[in-house]
Amino acid sequence: MKNFKTLNWIGAVDGYLELIDQRKLPTEFVNINCRTVEQLYNAIKTLAVRGAPAIGVAAAFGVCLAAQEIKASKLADAVKYIEMQIDYLASSRPTAVNLFWALERMKKKLYEVAKIEDLQNCLLREAKKIYDEDVEMCLKIGINGEHFIPVNGGILTHCNAGALATAGIGTALAPIFEAQKNGKKFQVYADETRPLLQGARLTAWELMQAEIDVTLICDNMAGSLMRQGKINAVIVGADRIAANGDTANKIGTYSVSVLAKAHNIPFYVAAPSSTFDLKIQNGSEIPIEYRNADEVANFMDLMTAPNGVKVYNPAFDVTPAENITAIITEKGVIECPTKEKIQNLINP
């Protein structure tokens, strides 16, 4: 299905990270090249690359870019410099835990290096390993979640948790792609996902590329379609999952979960095990990113609200575990998630 690479390392230790500029989709398909840590930081911050798994993979390669900038001749000085760059990358976005997971993993690898001459190769090998694992993770989520896709049914998805959000085929969209591969017939409804329209710009584009039957709807249409019986399942991604199963995802996900529960429609979350943050006990502890007011008050550089109006613009909200039918991971499925079930699957 996937005939593009969301992110791709080009070259050897002196190479660079190539990214699809997702700010330009769907009207333009443009790649950008990140050759410095600062360029990658800006790409993450401005959503040129987005989606929790993709951010994590990109950040891992960002550590490789940091290693290229080392001027020091002593390993200890080089490590100190890269640690500073890791902290810098970690400050780009606060909610998606994969960013911090990947950077912490790269930091651990950094401490295993014995000679400064081995530093770049060691870090690049680890970043490529994270990339390959992400690809495999997506495939396993697709296999584990495929049977939740109803035959001849309607599936609603929110935001974008497809190939553009990962190194592989996606998380929430992976079961959909797997179901298509197995010959299932179904209808996908992609809500637009205000204010940045990731559902309209990205998910609808991806599904059309894969020749999957997709219908775009406004965010406020979901309840009406559920009442009409057109939606039989909801599947979304996640940026961070607390120990009890409370899940942070793109703003608007909570509302969809409430609507699904009111209409007795199963609500599934698809995410890798790296998205679980077991140090956070519940959703109230998940840090929520707040973004620029212009994202809400403007559309395509056109002001759509009164000048100076107050704007509330959180990028994420939290869906409580009791609204989630199951969490689909590469390790297996957690039905009716609880702290105990999560612990047994993630850290058995």
State the pLDDT confidence band at 1, using cuts at 50, 70 and 90.
low
Q: Which regions of the chain does DSSP assign to beta strands (E)?
A: 7-10, 16-20, 31-34, 154-157, 187-191, 214-217, 233-236, 240-242, 247-250, 267-270, 276-277, 298-299, 302-303, 316-319, 326-328, 333-335
Are 273 and 240 in contact by the 8 Å Cβ rule? The answer is no
- Collapsing DSSP to helix, strand or coil, 264 comes out as coil
State the pLDDT confidence band at 2, using cuts at 50, 70 and 90.
low
Indicate the pTM of the whole model.
Answer: 0.95
Domains identified in the chain and CATH numbers: 7-139 (1.20.120.420), 145-346 (3.40.50.10470)
Q: Kindly state the average pLDDT of the residues 227-247.
A: 98
The verdict on whether 239 is a catalytic residue reads: yes
Residue 124 is predicted with a pLDDT of: 98
Q: How far apart are CA 62 and CA 41, in angstroms?
A: 8
Residue 72 is predicted with a pLDDT of: 81
Q: Kindly state the average pLDDT of the residues 130-147.
A: 98
pLDDT tens-digit profile of 325-341?
Answer: 999 999 999 999 999 99
State the pLDDT confidence band at 254, using cuts at 50, 70 and 90.
very high
Beta bridge partners of 216: 190
Q: Kindly state the average pLDDT of the residues 101-105.
A: 97
Q: How far apart are CA 241 and CA 286, in angstroms?
A: 8
Q: How far apart are CA 156 and CA 234, in angstroms?
A: 5
pLDDT tens-digit profile of 143-180?
Answer: 999 999 999 999 999 999 999 999 999 999 999 999 99
Name which of 105, 101, 97 is nearest 122 in CA terms. Answer: 105
> Which of left, alpha, beta for 226 (phi over 0: left; psi -120 to 50: alpha)?
alpha
Please work out, in degrees rounded to the nearest 5, the angle formed at the alpha carbon of residue 69 by the alpha carbons of 97 and 54: 25
Please state whether beta strands 7-10 and 16-20 pair in parallel, antiparallel, or not at all (unpaired): antiparallel
Question: CA-CA distances (angstroms) from residue 341 to 33, 43, 327?
Answer: 42, 36, 11
pLDDT tens-digit profile of 188-222?
Answer: 999 999 999 999 999 999 999 999 999 999 999 99
The residue among 96 and 299 whose pLDDT is bigger is 96
Helix axes 97-112, 75-90, angle to 10 degrees: 180
- Among candidate residues 134, 191, 239, 246, the one labeled active-site is 239
Please state whether beta strands 326-328 and 267-270 pair in parallel, antiparallel, or not at all (unpaired): parallel
Residue 300 is predicted with a pLDDT of: 77
The rounded mean pLDDT for the chain is 96
Q: Would you say residue 255 has pLDDT above 90?
A: yes
